[in-house]
Amino acid sequence: MDRQQYQTIESELFTAAAGLLSGERGALSPLDEFNGKPSTQKTLQTLKKIGLLTSSGNVEPAFEGLLQALLNPVQEFRFDILNDEKESSFSVYFNDSTRPPTSLRASGDRLAITGDAAFPELIAEIEPYFSIKKSLKSVFTMEFSLEHAWTLACLLDLSRQNRVGVKTSGSISAAEIIQALEEFDNSSAWLWLNTLSTLTENQPEEKANIEGSLGWLVKHGLLLKKGDRYLPAGDAGEIARQVGQPLLALNLLSAQRVNAIHIETQKLIFFEGQNALIGMAYRTGEESVHWLKRSPQGLIEILKTCAQEPKLLYQALDLDTQEIPSIPCPACGNLQDASAKFCKDCGAAFMAGDKLEALPELAMEEIPQNAKEALRGRLSQKTSAYQEPEAAQSQPTRRKIRWWVILLILLGIILLVCLLVSLFVPITIRF
């Protein structure tokens, strides 16, 4: 039986055929929900008619081989596309290196199973969904702690509500954010809070340090503070401008079986903005999330990587690179790369030893104001008194210094002689 005969079947028939398959379902198996479901006599006759069951009632060998590949896969990559018109899902399951991946595609009430990743068909299916035609000039990737992410997500949602007229105030106060987190109800009004809640499988942190998070976001140029109120700025402002009422959502999931009971998952949700895709990525168990801006072409490259190779989503997004340690600048307090020679915010030059004295790994909002002033004063003193290290001085310079020392000594001797002469000559004349 060739692949085309059973490539696309009704979901009900697939469920019935999978229910006939023996064997234990693994943690990543999509067949788990089909295990042990009874099939009616009519359904069995239909399966025989379309060739998925033999005349003796056994699953057709070629089709059984595909189902067997779905019993206990070691890795899954899933891509879902949702809009007002259609919802479809594409999954690739990987086993050992000797067996090719197996794909499942669900669209409406029909499902396709094939013995390969079926990527060309996937691209042909998703490209018409993208209304973005302009090339994207820039992308961004921003990492936040969960505490800061909840605060920013809430502020972005309140800003969205302002833009569509749900509320009339322009900027957002800390009190409004606290109230919104307490009243969060998973409704469609909360786009980013719902996204973060879906990714982390948690509810917003109502007792989070909102004031501290707002200060951190302001310090890093993501919020603009006006009095006691805040507006999105920088890349956060870009998110606010790009995403209003998205008509297209794209969900990506990469899951890897670590052992019989433990699964590592990496999730990404993209929304189509005005001229870019804006997304949020999260890896289960971590204390941080990423906000991203990408083009549809960039997303397709990610799909190519994940759908054709057993590779995790974070690797395809370049989110698994080792972080450069950051420390606060002793002059302005903003976090900088530990390897930097100058502060990118205030331009201050880092002196030798400053990076150790600047309390590495300590958030600047946790440093008392008097300590900040002390750090700034210390840097000012060091800057005025700074000299090139001795090793960097040339030998001719050292010789010049020695001759000047000798000259000063000679001048001192001459002055001393003149002084003695002025004292003793009058005495000699007198006698």
- Write the pLDDT tens digit of every residue in 292-321: 999 888 888 888 888 777 778 888 888 875
Mean pLDDT confidence for 253-261: 83
Q: What pLDDT shows up at residue 365?
A: 41
Residue 370 pLDDT greater than 50, yes or no: no
Q: Rounded to an integer, what distance in angstroms lies between the CA atom of residue 328 and that of residue 348? A: 12
Q: What pLDDT shows up at residue 389?
A: 37
Residue 399 pLDDT greater than 70, yes or no: no
Mean pLDDT confidence for 344-363: 49
Q: What pLDDT shows up at residue 396?
A: 44
Contact residues for 160 (Cβ-Cβ < 8 A; gap 6+)? 191, 240, 243, 244
Q: Are 189 and 216 in contact (CB under 8 A)?
A: no
Residue 358 pLDDT greater than 50, yes or no: no
Bridge partners, 281 (sequence order): 268, 290
Q: pLDDT band at residue 372, thresholds of 50, 70 and 90?
A: very low
Residue pLDDT, tens place only, 34-70: 555 567 788 888 888 888 888 888 888 888 888 888 8
Higher pLDDT, 402 or 21: 21
Higher pLDDT, 64 or 3: 64
Contact residues for 281 (Cβ-Cβ < 8 A; gap 6+)? 199, 266, 267, 268, 289, 290, 292, 313, 314, 317, 319
Q: What pLDDT shows up at residue 359?
A: 35
Higher pLDDT, 1 or 107: 107
Residue 280 pLDDT greater than 90, yes or no: yes
Least confident piece of the model among 14-23, 209-218, 278-287, 377-386: 377-386
Bridge partners, 224 (sequence order): 231
Per-residue burial over 331-362, b if 16 or more Cβ lie within 10 Å, else e, is: bbbbbbeeeeeebebeebebbeebbeebbeee
Least confident piece of the model among 2-11, 25-34, 403-412: 2-11
> Could you tell me the sign of the dihedral formed by the alpha carbons of 338, 341, 347, 353, in that order?
positive
Mean pLDDT confidence for 408-418: 81
Q: Rounded to an integer, what distance in angstroms lies between the CA atom of residue 184 and that of residue 190? A: 8
Least confident piece of the model among 162-166, 169-173, 234-238, 370-374: 370-374
Q: What pLDDT shows up at residue 374?
A: 43
Mean pLDDT confidence for 194-198: 93
Q: What pLDDT shows up at residue 213?
A: 93
Q: What pLDDT shows up at residue 309?
A: 76
Q: Rounded to an integer, what distance in angstroms lies between the CA atom of residue 366 and that of residue 212? A: 9
Q: pLDDT band at residue 217, thresholds of 50, 70 and 90?
A: very high
Site of tokens 């450069």: 324
Contact residues for 313 (Cβ-Cβ < 8 A; gap 6+)? 77, 252, 253, 254, 266, 267, 268, 281, 302, 306
- Of 34-43, 132-141, 173-182, which one has max mean pLDDT? 173-182
Least confident piece of the model among 20-34, 142-156, 185-199, 417-431: 417-431
Q: pLDDT band at residue 106, thresholds of 50, 70 and 90?
A: confident
Q: What pLDDT shows up at residue 164?
A: 59
Q: Rounded to an integer, what distance in angstroms lies between the CA atom of residue 213 and that of residue 149? A: 9
Residue 278 pLDDT greater than 90, yes or no: yes
Q: What pLDDT shows up at residue 322?
A: 42
Q: Rounded to an integer, what distance in angstroms lies between the CA atom of residue 73 and that of residue 85? A: 32
Q: Average pLDDT of the chain? A: 76
Residue 84 pLDDT greater than 80, yes or no: no
Q: What pLDDT shows up at residue 247?
A: 78
| Region of residue 9 (phi > 0: left; psi between -120 and 50: alpha; otherwise: beta) | beta
Mean pLDDT confidence for 246-258: 87
Q: Rounded to an integer, what distance in angstroms lies between the CA atom of residue 67 and that of residue 115? A: 10
Q: What pLDDT shows up at residue 418?
A: 79
Residue 239 pLDDT greater than 50, yes or no: yes
- Of 103-117, 121-135, 149-163, 403-417, which one has max mean pLDDT? 149-163
